[in-house]
Structures are given as structure tokens and as C-alpha cells.
Structure 1
Amino acid sequence: TAGPSLDDPAVGGQSQVHLIAENTNVKDQPKQVPVEASVLSTLSDARNPLKALQRLRQNPDSTEFVYLRPYRIDDITPLNPYHLEIVPHSEIDESNFYTLSSFGVTFFMNGKPEFTDLEQWKREHYLFNAIIKIPVFKKYRVWKSYKVWRDSVRYGKMRKCAKLLQKNLFWMNPTFQEALLRIRGMCMDMRKTRLHSFQKGQLCTLEQFFHDQQVQRGTVLSELDSFWTGAIDCARVACIATLESLEEGLFGSNAADAQAAHTGGGDKQSPRAENFRYTVMASKRVVQRRLYYFLRLCDYMIFNTLHSMVVESVSELLGYLQMDPSRIEETEAEKKAKEKAKALGKPVSSAIFLTEIMLAQGDLCFVPAANDFETELESIVGGFVDTISGNIRLLSHEELEQFTELYDAETETTEGSTVADIVTNDDEYQNLVSSLKDAVEDAFVKCGQYLKTFEEFRDMVSDNEQLDAEELRTGAEAGDVSLDDFRDKLTNFGSQREQIRLLPDAEDIGIIRVDTKRLKEIISPSPAACLEKLEELLPQLAAQKQKSILDEVNSANNRLNKKPETVEEFVSLLGFIAGLNEDKERMEAEFEELKSHYALMDEHSVQVASIDRAAYQMLVPEYTQMKNILELLDSTKDEDMGKWSARLEEDIKAFHDKVEGLKSSAEDTTLLEDHEFLDGVLGATAELKQQAVDLNAEAKKNQNFQQVFGQQVERYPLLDEVVGDINLKAGMWEARRDVTTITEGWKEVLVMEMPVKDWEAQVQKWFKTATRAERELPDNPVAPKLREMAAVWKDLIPACGDLKNPSLQERHWEKLETIVGFRLERDADTWEEPFTLGSLLAKNIMNFREDIQRVSTEATQEGVLEEMLGKVKGSWVNAEFTLSNFKDAKDVFILAGIDEIQALLDDSMVTMGTILASRFVAGIRPEVEKMEGNLRSLQNVLDEWLNVQKNWMYLEPIFSAPDIQRQLPAEAKMFLDIDKGLKNVMKKVSENPNCMRTGTQPGQAEQFSGWNDILEKIQKQLEDYLEFKRMAFPRFYFLSNDELLE
């Protein structure tokens, strides 16, 4: 134990007194010792012993002395033997008083004196007063009283509590003690039971895990039923024993009364028996109240056990999920299995759950997923609570209700909580459940990292699905996909197949074993399918290439083996040989590519149809034969050229004879005679044209052959002359036919629907043909007649085209009708005959072509002018004045931002000048002059308006001053009239700010002009007034008008 403390009055006080005594010396003390100055200061000088002590020190040889008595401040403060006061002899207590002299202090107690030297008394006085200031001694009396009181109260309370515990504590009662110990033992045994069936090292699927927990739940429910049965039996035995003990104590010496109390004793009971019955009932109520608390205690013990079962089961399950050994209790079998695996060097797997990686809808996922595990775990843990909540508590059990039936439990306020409420509201349980979810999430986060390693296979499947055999076929045929590309794809898909084969079937990631067997089954067909497509496509491409080359080689061999019989065939053969020589490198490359193609298929074991393989083997000798024939023909080329060159000269002589014969046929005079029926002459000209075309083609062939043989190319001017003559005559007769037939259809077309440009081009073509025929074929009666027929349509179509002018107004149509002399009815509802080209032709409207063109031109130009006028009008429709408040006055406005309006007005005036200067303005002159007048009026009003506003803004602050109004009353009155009128005008403008409507009011320009004259007169009068002031005060000449007015 600790040693004594300085705060203890028995120890600390003595130590402090001893220190004060040792460190205090009378000689060291001052002559004036301030003893309890606060107390003695309340005494008068006559009663203060300190004052007397000073006097005695001044006269040390004096025999004077004074009487002293103890001085009490009040009845509460303890008496201080050194608190003294001077009193006369009559006021002293003969049995207790002091005397003070220059020699010392004498204390008289019951007549016995005790003398103390003055210095000794002063020392003791100082020490005593110093000691009583120490907290230990100062508070000793209070502390001592409090300690005695506290010990007494504590002792009494502890005795009372001990008796109460001895009386009410169930563990002190042998009957209850035995029952509680048995129930406690059962609880301890039950607490070892786990609500889950999970075992370390066990690997299971989510379904299997859930099934095992349901089986375990059934087992635990059976154990709980046995547990509750045992607890009920123990509680019932204790309750029966307690009631029997009570009855023995009550009825042991009063058997007769007890029998009467039980049986009722007949109709009338004795007063003693009646009183005894009430006593028994009261005692039973007290005992049953105690039994109620006993059963409730048992419920608490059981609830605590069930709560611990749930918490420890969840905690142990969490330990498995977190791989935390501190939370897991290993069984002996688990320890032995672990030691055996360690001895054999086998790794101990920590995986407890099994999940699979699946590829669904193009994305990788776990089946079951983290959400599935969390949901099932939440369901299983919730099942823990349901499992322990299935039984009825002891207090409510029907077998034990008889032991508490006399006690009214409604007075209890703590009832109602179930074991489920206790568990679910426990913070530790909630934290464990939350940690379970976190553990699953953390486990799947790690699995997610492993899942990412399969993303390349997911992308592989996605990319492989994009493989399109037809697209590859098209690319290969176009040359965009080479054999190297096919080789890379074959290698890539083969590598993919091997990578998938090497994938592990499963991998342990923490507590999760990730199964990939089904994933491998899903992705394995992808590269296999791609390889199948390629293995199907490559032979087809090879057969296609092979067929193309074989056809080309066979065709070349057939052509090279055929002997030429004409010059044309020989030249064709030379060209063919030249083409083969040019394509030699290409064919060689295609042949080598085909060989590489077959080598690629052999390299990757691609199956090729036997017929394609045989065709490939036949291609090699055919290709060799073609090269040999080419070499042979190249060696005999010069000899063959000489032979066929002579043959060409013979053919050219025969060609000249053909040209002469064609010329004779073309000079037939019947072709220039006028015929009523044109079919015969058109047939003759068509035949001549075909002969000319054939001879032209033959001439070009001969010239081409001469170039091939290196001869001088011969020209055929006679042929050109004959061809030109034939084409001219054929064109003339064709034009004659068209003028007759085509124009018949034109006559039925409405004027407003005719394609003027196309018809004008056709008529111009006929007219040119007729003119050329007249010039080159003189004395030709057909050409003048053709020209005459075309001339009619050459004048008619432009005239009708002018009538289609959309700019023609009613006034223009009236002019046209005056010119042509008949009604031009354009409305289908009112015309007598359709307004067609034929009707106008019948009325010879082409004779008025120039006049019609002039009116149409006027209409077009007037349309342009009307469009310009419309734009001017449109620009003023929404043009508005911009107003602003004058000096922040709400209802007073001025014009602001007039620049845009002025610019628009200037542009409009320029446009109107351009319109009026046009020589085509006559038709719209009234409208133009009206608009031009409005613009000029607006210009005049705006000029006067701005001038009035400027002068008004200058004079308004001047005439607002009362002094100016008194000095210039007439001018002030004129200004106020203008001020009122201008404000009214501006108010109307604010209501309707449109420029054209506001600025063209009649008389507005004159009104503003009059106001300007008056304002100028007012300004002149104001200047005269200021001049008068300057003459009176010459110093004012140094000030401007504005400064002078201010």
C-alpha cells in the first residue's frame, strides 16, 4: 500500500509544523509581527494588544501591564488562544485570563499562573498563526466530521445492500443456484454449436453452400429444441421446488388452516382460516414475482447464448472469407489434414467458393456474380437469426405460465424485446454483416483483376466475329488482301487455338476458385471457325486464280497456233503477241503467286479438291508451251512482215476503186431534185452514208496497217470530199423531213409551255443546213425551200418566247394586242381557241416580232425597276425612330441614334434617282414619284426636327430657371409654347415610332420650320440680354454665354 500522504492531518500537519519550527528564529523576526492583522484591525487601539506591545517596547523598564481575555469573532469560528483583547479588570474571567507586560505574558487558569517570556510568546504566536493557515490544519475539523459521517453512512448502506442481495440474489438460493448452473452449462455447450456448416478447405458452389446451410439449419433447430426442452425442465423443477418450500413453510404448523385454505372449508370459514388464506395468497404472489424474475434471468442467459451463437458464427464465417486465423477454430481433423498436406509439400488451397467466367452478350462476367454471393450470404445470415428465433421464451411458455399467473407482469416496462431484436440491433452484428459484404466485394475485386487477363480472348472472339469470308474474297480479288495477309491470319488463328488450349481449367484467387472450363468451351470454336472459313476460301481463291490463268494460257495457245489468212488477222496477231509480251511479267507473277498459294495451303495442311489439284498440275505444261510458241514467232517476225506488207499494197489499190465507185453514186442528179415523197431519196442518202462510214473505217485500218509495217501512211482526200458531199446531201434531206414532221407537233403546244431555247437551237440548226446547202450545192431547188420553211419558225419562236415573259403586266398585254390587232386570250376559261403556237402562226404573229420584243423588253426593265422600288418600300416598313429619355425624365423623349435612319434615307434617295433616270420608268412613274416625294418630305422634316431638338435642348435648362423667366418673360412664354408642342410630338412618336408614318404628316415640316424661327429669335434676345449684362459688368466679357448663364 502507499505511504502516508501530506494531506493526512496526522502526518502532513506535523511535518509542516516541524519545518516551520526549524526554519524560524526569534532573532530573525521583525520587531513588529503582523499577527492576524485582519482580525485585530477590527479592535480599537485601546483594546488591541499589538498597540500595547508597541508602547511597552518603547518603555522596557516600565512596570505597566494590561489584562487580556480571549477574543471570539463569532460562535462558529474555532477559538484561537492568541486572539486576545485588552479589557479592564472588571471584564475578565477570573478563571481564564492573561496579563501582558514588558517582561512577558502570564496566563491564569483557575488561579494558577503560567508565565511565558515575551519573545517566546511572540515566537509561539507566530508559529501558531502560520500553522493554522496550512490547509490540513485549517480544514481538519471539517474533514474529520465529514469522514466520520461518510463512513457511518457507507457502512449502513453496505449492510442494507448485503441483506438485500442475500435475500434476492438467485445464486445465493440453493434451488435457483442449481437450476441456473445447469442452464448455464447447457448454454455453454450450446454456444459451441455453429449455425453454419462451413469447414476449412471445403470447396463448394453457391448452390451447394446454400443447401449445406439449410441442412445445418435443420440440425441446429433440432439441437435448439432439445436445449429449450432441457432449459424448461430445469426451470420447472426449480419453480416447483420453490413453491413446495413455500407451502412447507406456511403449512407445516397449521395443517388444518392449510387444508381449509386449499379446500375452502365449507360454506363458512373461520375468521382465522380466512385470514390465513389471504396470507397464503400474498406469500404466493411474492414468490411468483420472484419466480417471474428468475425465469426472466434464465431468458436473458439463453438470449445471451443465442446472441453469442449468431455473432460467433458470423464472425467465424467472416474469418473464412477474410482468411483470418484468429476468427477460425480449427477442428482436429482440419489440423491433421493441414499438417499432412504440409508434410507432402502440397499447397493448401484457400478457395472456398466456386464461380465461373462466362462470355455473355460480348462481355465477360462471373456466374454467379458478386451480387449473387452477397444476396445468398445475406439470406443465410438472416436465416441464422430466424433459426434462433423459433422458440418461445420461458416467461411465455405454457408449461411455466402457472408459476407466474398470480404476478401482474403488466407493471414491467422492460418486456417485449425478442432475441431477433437484440441480435439485429447489435452494432457488432451489423458490423460483421457489413464486413461479410465487404469481404465478398474485396474477393471479387481481386477476381476482377484476374478477369482482365481474359479480355484479350473476349476481344479475340469479337474480332474473329468480324471476319467476313466474302469481304476477304473481294479484297483478294481486288489485290487488297495478299497471301502474306492470309498467312498471318492462319498463323494468328492457330496461335489463338493453342493459347486457348493452354489456359488453366481453374485458378484460386483468394477465397474464390475461378473455373474457366466453360469459358474455354465458348471461345474455342471462334478461332476454329475462322480457320474453317479460311480453309474453305483459300482453295476457292486458288481455283479462281488457276482458272483465270489457265483460260488465258489456253486462249493464247489457241490464238498463237492459228495461221493468219488476211492482213488484218496478221496485224491482229502481231498486236496480240505484243500484248502477251507486255503482260509477260504480269502472267509470270500471277503464275508464281499461284504456286505460292498452293505452297501456303500445303504448309498449313489445307485440303484441296483433287480436281483442282489436277488442273494445277496441267497448267504447268500449258504455260511452258505458250512461252515456247512466243519465242518461235518472235524469231520469224521479220520474214512474215515482208510477206504481208506486199499483200497490204494490193488491198490499198482495191480500196481506191471502191472510193471512185462511191463518188459516182453520190453525184447522182436525182439527189438534188425536189421530190414530193421523201422516203426514196432519204433511203438512198442513208445507204450512201453507210457506205461512206464503212470506207472511212477501212481507210483508217489501212493507215493503221501501214504504221505497223513501217510504210508511209497514205492520205485519202477524195474519200474526205465524197464523205462531206454525202453528209451534206443527207443532212439537207433529213432537215427537210424534220421541218415538215417535227413542226406539226409544235403547232399543238401551248405558248406558255413551249421550250423556247431547245426549239430555237433546232431551228438554227435547220437554217444553217439550208444556208450551207445553198452555198455548196448551187442550182439546188431543195435548199432554198428548206431555208424558207426554217425562216418562218426562226421568226415565230422568238416572238412567242417574248410572249412567255413573266414580267408582262396587263398594260403590256394591252399594248401587244394593239400591235397585233387581235385579242391575245391567255385564260383557258375564256379563250375561243387554245393559245397555241399553231394559232399564232395562222395569224402571222411573226410579222410583229420587233414590236413584241420591244414591249417584252420594256416589261422586263419595268419589272427590275418595280423590284428596286419594292425593296425601298420594304426597307421603310419596319424602320422606326430610336428614342431616349431626356435627363431621366419618364415622359420626355428625344431622338437618339439617327445615323441608321439617315443612312437608309440616303440609300433610298440614291435608288429612287436611279429609277427615275431609267427610260423604262414611264409605266410606274406615278408610284415612283409618290415614294420619292415621301422620302424628300421625310428628309426635310428630319432636318428641321433635329435642328429644333438641338436648340430646345440648349434652351430648356436656361428657361427652366425662374430668374431667366422673370428677366425675359416674353421669350419664356414663347419657349414654353414650343416646349409643350415638342413634347406632345415626341409623345406621339413614342406611341408610333414608324419613320414613314410619323415623318410624312402634312404640315409637319412647316411646323418645325416655324419653331426653328422662333427659337432663333429667342436665342437672339437671350444674346442681347447677355450683352446688356456685359455692358453693365465689363468683367463678364471674359465669360462665355454658358458660364455667364450659370
Structure 2
Amino acid sequence: DFVLKDPRKKDDDGKITELPPHRAEIEVLPKPWRRSFLSACSYIRDHLNAMNPMMLAVLDLWHSTFKKLRLVDIEEFHNRQDALELSEFQNIVIKHMESAKETLLKTWFPEVQNIYYRGNKKKQLPTGKSSAKLDSFFNCAATLMTLQLQGLILVSMQDFTDLIAQPPESTRAFEHPGFIMRLVLDKKTIKFTPDFNDYIDILINVYEIMIKTVSFVPRVETKLYSQWESKSKPTTLKPIILNEIIDTHKEKIREVVLRESVAPTEHLKMYDKYQFLITGKAERDIDEFLFQNQNYEKLIEEIRKYQKLGEEIQYTSRKTVRLGMFEMHCEELIKSLVKRADVICGKLIAKMFRDHQEVNTMLCDEFEKIAEKALSTPLNTAELMEMKAHVQKLETTDMLELRQRLVDSKNCLAFLIECVNFSPADIKLNNSVFQWYARMGEIFDEHRKIIKDKTEQYQEALKFRCERFVEELESYAKQVEEFHTFGDLLDVQRYLKKAQVLNGKLDAAADKIEQFNAEEEAFGWVPSVYPQRKKIQDGLNPYLRLYETAVEFSTKHRGWTEGPYHKVNPDQVEADVGNYWRGLYKLEKVFHDSPNALAMTKKVQSMVEEFKQYIPLIQVICNPGLRPRHWEAMSTIVGYPLLPSDDSTVFSFIDMNLEPFLDRFEGISEAASKEYSLEKAMDKMMTEWDSMEFVILPYRESGTYILSSVDDIQMLLDDHIIKTQTMRGSPFIKPYEKQMREWEGKLLLLQEILDEWLKVQATWLYLEPIFSSPDIMSQMPEEGRRFKAVDKTWRDVMKTVVQ
């Protein structure tokens, strides 16, 4: 019964129940909105493209086949064990993106294209009559595909961010195998390569590359229709990722890199102990060290120090260390530091090598010089003794020093053998040093043989020369005896020449005696004494003095009496004549047993005495202070003119027999001398002003000049005024009185001008800075005007002085 009942009928059909409004509407049949409902469904089928089966097929294709597609294959990095270079990581990422791009363009897009191609065959595309519908349909397709690409970018970005910035829920030690960062030495600093900014730039640039990678997918309609043209619409899909999303990912990457940079930076401090190598201070210190010419022991000490340093850097420094996301590779830095230490060692070794070669060369030269000196043949006794003493010093003193230097050279060579490859020439030099030292014993033995032979030879020669010298002295004694026979005053020149020659021989004989004595002392003999030479010299000296006096007096007598009178110095004449007379007086006593020499002495003495009486006359007429007025006064005394001409001689005055008038002449001559001294003093004062200069200097930046450094001028001026006034009081000033008054007037005028000049200058120097101020000029206009007038005059005067 229940089964056969009409389900549309209810048990309570007989009951009338009131229904709510929204239920009451259901009771109404047919529905009043059925037509509009069917119309709306038809409209949706025609216009809502998202419901199109092709859209569903495209959506199903993506989720079923390409849902796990990523622009960057994270698993490859998960599976890698070795750290990556940043450039290698970048290449892999780009390779992944190219692969994803190829998948999109060659797999996904052709599948999508086939879906729409099949749908077109099934009449699932809008009809071509309505271009608006067709455009709307493909815009929907483009939007769907763009959303799928955007989803691909977003999940790829998130995966890449999680790869670099490990998420908290990750169970791996590292999401990636790490990045290789190298420490390199760049001049005076250690740098990270690549540096942290490079990592940040390249890693965050991946997001931009992701967007560009999927921006080349074409719209499907451009491939379905070969003649599709749309000027207003793009031909490729343009996925849009908000900048906020991209910036968030970039900021995470930046934070991770900066956080992970702390450990490498701290690791860098491990190399602070090598700062002197890094900054180049070690090289500068070594250059200074080498400049001081250190000995080989200090050089070896420094070389071992830097060799040990290089080994410490090379064998104790960690070459690779993992610090967070970075794997630090320090091999290049370690090599660079070791290289710098090696370069310093090379400098030290090169210096040591050069010094060693120079020392060896010097040792060879010194050994060669010693051998040359020791084996040379002395030419005389002096050279023999000098060479004997010199070689003895070399053998006992210098050879000890050379031996020590040779030991140092050997020690240096023992060290250098481990560090340097010697050339054949260097090896030959090293051998020569030791060979020379080995030969020195034979050389000294040969030297002693030479000394013995030459000593015997020169002793015999000395004995022979001493015998010959005694014979020479005997001949000199005979020559002195000849002077006893000389008495002709007319031949005095010949006598003098012969005496001078013999005197020269006696001087040479004295030198020979000294030489003989020196050689005798060198040989250990008692020095010989030769009293004959002194006896001969004593016998010759009186004759030599006589002949020199006779010749000299004769020569000067001719000059005094026959030469121009004004060139005769009366004081010098008096002194020379006195000396001749005294010398002849002494010789007269010496020649008591030599009559010829005594007669000659008396003849010369009489000539001197004869000339001596004319000295008072010469004192008068040869006075340089005599002027025409003095000659006129003396002419008045004698009664005839005495004024001489330029070629007048003393003989001409002697012939005038002026001796009776000498007493009166002497007063005139004395006055002339006084006047002459005043004249010379005045000329000297005038001459002293020739070198004096008034110093004019520019005054700051005023454009004018001032007088400076006048102390010396004022001192000289005061001194000359006092001298002039003193000279004016002399009784002998009358001939020059007018000239002296004029000179005194000039000096006083100069003193007055100089005093006034300095007073005006001091006042101007005081006022000039005051009235240079505009404020003072405005407050004191009248005084300022007056100062300007004076200032103009001062500047004009100083300008004239400078010109």
C-alpha cells in the first residue's frame, strides 16, 4: 500500500495548512519566473566563458600535469653535497628557468593549444559572427593561463626563498649545499670574493628573472589564428606579481645574507696577526732594515723568521671552513700571504747573496794586494823597511781580521747553499777566496826571502855611498879654501854665484847625512857623524854674506841714486843702509886671517859710509808730502829754483851741495809730513763713504717705502764729524782749511737731514695705521684731511728717493 501511493499526495491532503511566503511560492505551478530562469541559463551558457568545457580542460591539464612544475628545481640543490660557486649557482638557476620556459612553451602551451583546437571542432568556441564574444572568450582563456603562470611564479618564489632562507619547520641541516666564498688579498686589505653585496644582488635578481621567464608565453589565439591581429591587446601573457610580494622575498634574502655574513667577518679576524704582511708594513720594515747594512747573522735571523712565518701560514691555517651558508675557501689568501713572506725572504736572501759576493770579491782583492805588496821588489832602503814593517803588520794583525771575515763568509755560504743556486762564476769566486787564503803562507815565506836578499844588497850599497860622500866633503873643503884668494870687487858677481852653488851642495849634503842616518838606524847601525860638513858650512857663510851684501848694496845704490826721486822711500833707505853697515862691521872682525876678503869688506864698508852721509838729504827731498809750495819755500832759502821734474834723481840734488841748508829744510819737511798725514786722513774719510748705501725697503702693503738700517751710517757719520773737528784744530790744516770746512758742512748737513728724516718717518709710521681706518677718518675729518696732505708729500718724496 505504501509503495503504490502517489508520492505527490500526502496523508494530510485534507488538511489545510498555512505556509510561509517563501514556501508558498513553491506551491505555485507553473512558476512565474520559469521563463526568466531559462533565459538566464541560456545567457550564462552563451556568455560565461569560464564554464566552457575547454576552460575546464585547460584547468584540469594544469592541475593534473603541470602542478609540480617549478621555475627552479629545489630538489637538485637538496641532493647536492658540495658547495657551489655563486656563478655556478646562478648558471644552474638560469638553466632551470630555461628548462621551465621550454616546458611551458613546448609542452604546456601546445597542449592548451590542442584543447582549444579540439573545442573549436566540437563547436565549443563562440561563433565567428560575433568578434566581441570571441575576444571575450580568449580574454578569459588568457586570464586563466595568466593565473596559472602567476601561481607558478609565486610557488617558485616561495620555494627559492625557502631554499636560501631556511624555514623553521625544515628538518634539513641546510636547504642548500652552501656557497663558496673566497678570501683574497687585494693590495693592503683582505676581501671576500664574491662579496656579500654580490650575493644579495644575484640572489634577489632571481625573482626578476622568474617574472621575465614566464613573460614570453603567447596568447593562445595568436597561434590558433594565423591572421589574428589586435592592435590594442598584447600578444603574450603578462603575469603580474605585486611589488610587495617581491620586496618581501627580497628582504628575507637580504636579511639571511647579512645575518650569515657575521661568521665570515669574525673568521677574518683570525688573520689580524698577519696585518704587518697584509698592509705592507713588513716589507717597509725590511727595506729600512736592509738600508742599515746589517751583518749576515742578523740577515739569517730575519730570513729564518719569515721562513717560519710562511710555514706557519701555509700549514696551520684552515684552507676550507663551513660557516653557515658560506663555505670559506682561504687557499688563495694563504698563498698570497705565503708569497709575501717568500718575497721578503727573497729580498733578504738576495741582499745576503750580494753582500756575500761583495765580501768574497773584496777578500780576493785584499789577498791579491797583500801578495802583490809582499812579492814586490823594494827600490831602496826606505821602501825595504816600509815594506818589511807593512807586511809584518799584515801578517800579524790584518791576516787575523781577514781570517775572521773568511770564517763569516764560510758560514754565510753554508746558509746560502740551501737557498740559492750558484752560477759557475759564483762557484769560481767562492773557490778563489779559500785558495787565496791557503796560498798566503807560501807568499809570506817568499816575502821573507826577498827581504833578506835586498837587506844584504842595500847594506853594501850604503857603505859604498858613505865612502863616496866623504870624498865629496873633501872636495867642498878645497872649494872654500879658494875664497881666501878672491879680492877683486869687480868680480863679486862671479864670487857670489860660486858661493851660492857651493852652499846648495852643502844643503844637499845635510839631506844626504839625514838619509844615511835613517838607513843606518833602519839596519840597526850606529848613525855616522860628519863634522866636516858643518866646518865647511861655517867657513863658507862669511864669504857668502859678504858677496850678497856687496851685490845687493850695489844694486840698490844704483836704484836710489839714478832712479826717479819720487819712487825712493827714505825710511826704507835709512833702514837698509844701517843693516848693511852693521853686517859689514861684523864681517870685518871675522876676516882677520883672510886679507883679500878683509880688503873687499873694507871697500864695501867705505862705499856704504860714503852714501850714509846723504841720508838726511834723501829724507828731505824724497818726502812724499812735499808740494809745490814747499819746494818754493826751500827755493827761497837757497836762492834758486829747486822744484824737480818727474825724471829728477837723487844724484841731481847731491850735486847741488844742499847740506848747509838741511837744518832749515827739515822744518819745512816736517810740516809737509804733518800736512800730508792730514790730507791722507781726509781722503780716507771720503773713500769710506763710497761703500755706504741708504737702504730703502717697501713698507708692508702701503705702496710706499721707508728708510732702514741706518745704524752703521749714523755711527760712521758721528765718527767723521769728531775726526773732522779734531783735524780743524791742527796747526798744519791751513792748506786744506777751506776743503775741510766744506767737508764738515756736508757732514753736519747730512746729520741734520738724517735726524729730521727719521723723526718724520717715525711720526708717519705711528699715524699711518690710525688714519687708514675709515672709522677714524669719519670721527676726525679735519685731522684726516691734514694727514692725507702730509701722506701725499711723504709718498712723493720717497718715490723720488727710490728712483
Does residue 1:302 correspond to 2:172, yes or no? no
Partners of 2:758 and 2:181 in 1: CA distance: 95
Q: 1 CA distance for matches of 2:124 and 2:109?
A: 22
Q: Where does 1:205-604 land on structure 2 (aligned, <5 Å)?
A: 205=85, 208-209=88-89, 211-226=91-106, 229=109, 232-233=112-113, 236=116, 244=124, 289=136, 292=139, 295-296=142-143, 298-310=145-157, 312-313=159-160, 316=163, 318-319=164-165, 324=166, 352-353=179-180, 355=182, 357=184, 382-392=208-218, 399=224, 418-419=238-239, 422=242, 426-432=246-252, 434-435=254-255, 438=258, 445=265, 448-449=268-269, 463=283, 481-485=294-298, 487-488=300-301, 491-492=304-305, 495=308, 502=315, 506-508=319-321, 510-516=326-332, 519=336, 526=343, 527=345, 531=349, 534=352, 538=356, 541-542=359-360, 544-545=362-363, 548-549=366-367, 552=370, 556=374, 558=375, 571-572=385-386, 575-576=389-390, 579-580=393-394, 584-602=396-414
Residue 860 (structure 1) aligned with residue 687 (structure 2) = yes
Report how far residue 659 of structure 1 moved. 6.5
3-state DSSP class of the match of 1:508? strand
Where 1:994 maps in the other structure, the secondary structure is helix
Q: Which amino acid aligns with 1:426?
A: I
Aligned position for 1:986: 783
Q: Mark the CA change 1:409 to 1:930 in structure 2 (over 3 Å): closer, same or farther.
A: same
Q: Check 1:702–1:577 CA distance in 2 against 1; reply closer, same or farther (3 A cut).
A: farther
Paired AA for residue 69 in structure 2 = M
Measure the CA separation in 2 of the matches of 1:468 and 1:873: 49
C-alpha distance in structure 2 between counterparts of 1:545 and 1:932, whole Å: 80
Instruction: Please give the alpha-carbon distance, in whole angstroms, between the structure 2 residues aligned to 1:507 and 1:297.
Output: 50
Residue 189 of structure 1 aligns with which residue?
A: 68
Question: What is the rounded CA distance, in whole Å, between the counterparts of 1:419 and 1:687 in structure 2?
Answer: 133
The answer to whether the Cα contact below 8 Å between 2:306 and 2:341 also exists between their aligned partners in 1 is no
Deviations 1:334-360 (A, max 9, x none): 99xx9xxxxxxxxxxx65336474677
Q: Aligned partners of 1:547, 1:704: CA distance in 2, in Å?
A: 32
Q: 1:696 and 2:508 equivalent?
A: no
Using CA pairs under 8 Å that are at least 6 residues apart, name the structure with larger relative contact order, 1 or 2.
2
How far apart, in 1, do the equivalents of 2:203 and 2:516 lie? 96
CA distance in structure 1 between the partners assigned to 2:204 and 2:191 by the alignment: 21
> Does the 8 A contact of 1:314 with 1:381 survive in 2?
no
Distance of 2:180 and 2:355 partners within structure 1: 46
- The CA distance in 2 between the partners of 1:922 and 1:874, in whole Å, is 34
Q: Distance in 2 between matches of 1:565 and 1:404?
A: 122
Equivalent position SS for 1:201: coil
Check whether the contact 1:352–1:513 (CA below 8 A) recurs between aligned residues: no
Query: Residues 579 and 217 of structure 1: is their aligned pair in 2 closer, same or farther, counting only changes over 3 Å?
Result: same
Q: Distance in 2 between matches of 1:997 and 1:605?
A: 87
Q: Do the aligned partners of residues 294 and 629 (structure 1) sit closer, same or farther apart at CA in structure 2, a change above 3 Å counting?
A: closer
Q: CA offset at residue 905 of structure 1?
A: 14
Cα contact 1:909–1:932 (8 A) shared by 2: no
Q: How does 1:964-979 map to 2 (within 5 A)?
A: none
Provide TM-score, normalisation by structure 2. 0.50
Equivalent residues of 1:389, 1:419 under 8 A apart:
yes
Whole-Å separation in 2 of the counterparts to 1:207 and 1:873: 76
C-alpha distance 435-546 of structure 1, shift in aligned 2 (>3 A)? same
CA contact (8 A) 2:83 2:180 kept: yes
Whole-Å separation in 1 of the counterparts to 2:502 and 2:87:
97
TM alignment of 1:669-748, pairs within 5 A: 692=507, 695-696=510-511, 699=514, 702=517, 706=521, 709=524, 718=534
Please state how far the C-alpha of 1:226 moved relative to its aligned partner. Answer: 4.0
Structure 1: gaps spanning 5 or more residues = 1-162, 248-260, 263-280, 339-349, 737-765, 785-798, 800-819, 822-847, 881-899, 944-981, 1001-1046
Note closer, same or farther for the CA distance 1:927–1:621 as it changes in structure 2 (3 Å cut). Answer: closer
1:888-1037 matches, cutoff 5 A? 919=724, 922-923=742-743, 925=745, 929=749, 932=752, 986=783, 988-994=785-791
Secondary structure of 2:403's counterpart equals helix
CA-CA distance at 1:656 after TM superposition: 6.9
1:616 counterpart letter in structure 2: F
Task: Map Cα deviations across residues 155-207 of structure 1 (whole Å, 9 max, x no partner).
Answer: xxxxxxxx99x989998888756644544556632247439975643345566
Cα distance in 2 for partners of 1:325, 1:686 equals 125
The match for 2:35 is none
Instruction: Check the 8 A contact 2:126/2:133 in 1, yes or no.
Output: no
Q: Which one-letter code corresponds to 1:860 in the other structure? A: T
- Tell me the TM-score normalized by structure 1: 0.41
Query: Conserved in 1, the CA contact under 8 Å of 2:184 and 2:191?
Result: yes
> Amino acid of the residue matched to residue 409 of structure 2?
H
- Give the whole-Å Cα distance in 2 for the aligned partners of 1:311 and 1:725: 131
Deviation of residue 989 (structure 1)? Answer: 0.8
Q: 1:1014 maps to which residue?
A: none
Do the aligned partners of residues 173 and 368 (structure 1) sit closer, same or farther apart at CA in structure 2, a change above 3 Å counting? closer
Query: Which residue among 441, 460, 468 is the counterpart of 1:623?
Result: 441
Task: Tell me how far apart the structure 1 counterparts of residues 195 and 502 of structure 2 sit (CA, whole Å).
Answer: 90
Query: Distance in 2 between the 1:625 and 1:706 partners?
Result: 28
- Paired residues of 1:355 and 1:512 also in contact (CA < 8 A): yes
State the shift of 1:229 in Å: 0.4
Q: Alpha-carbon deviation of 1:925?
A: 4.3
The CA deviation string for residues 261-308 of structure 1, in whole angstroms up to 9 with x for no partner, is 96xxxxxxxxxxxxxxxxxx6xx9589658745643542342242244
Question: Could you tell me how far apart the structure 1 residues matched to 2:505 and 2:239 are?
Answer: 117
Counterpart secondary structure, 1:188? coil
Distance in 2 of aligned mates of 1:441 and 1:690:
104
TM-aligned CA deviation for residue 699 of structure 1? 1.3
Q: What number of residue pairs does the alignment pair up?
A: 594
Shift of 1:594: 1.8
Deviation at 1:712, TM superposition (A): 8.2
Contact 1:905 1:939 in 2 (8 A): no
1:392: Cα distance to partner? 3.6
Partner of 2:82: helix, strand, or coil?
Answer: coil
Q: Secondary structure at the match of 1:389?
A: helix
Aligned residue type for 2:517: N
Farther-moved stretch of structure 1 (169-178 vs 222-231): 169-178
1:986: Cα distance to partner?
3.0
Distance apart, 1:420 and its partner CA: 7.1
The percentage of counterpart residues that share the same residue type is 8
2:55 is equivalent to residue 202 of structure 1: no
1:873 is displaced (CA, Å) by 12
- Could you tell me how far 1:665 is from its partner in structure 2? 7.7
1:223 Cα deviation after fit = 1.8
Q: Which consecutive unaligned segments of at least 5 residues does structure 2 have?
A: 1-39, 553-571, 585-600, 609-623, 625-644, 647-674, 725-739, 764-778, 798-803
User: Given the superposition, is the C-alpha separation of residues 663 and 358 from structure 1 closer, same or farther in structure 2, using an over 3 Å criterion?
Assistant: farther
Q: Residue type matched to 2:251 in 1?
A: N
What is residue 10 of structure 1 aligned with on the other side? none
Q: Which one-letter code corresponds to 1:991 in the other structure? A: K
Q: Could you say if the C-alpha distance between residues 449 and 664 of structure 1 is closer, same or farther in structure 2, counting changes exceeding 3 Å? A: farther
Contact 1:307 1:423 in 2 (8 A): no
Whichever residue aligns with residue 406 of structure 2, its letter is L
- Distance in 1 (CA, whole Å) between partners of 2:124 and 2:471 is 160
CA gap of 1:609–1:621, structure 2 versus 1, over 3 A, is same
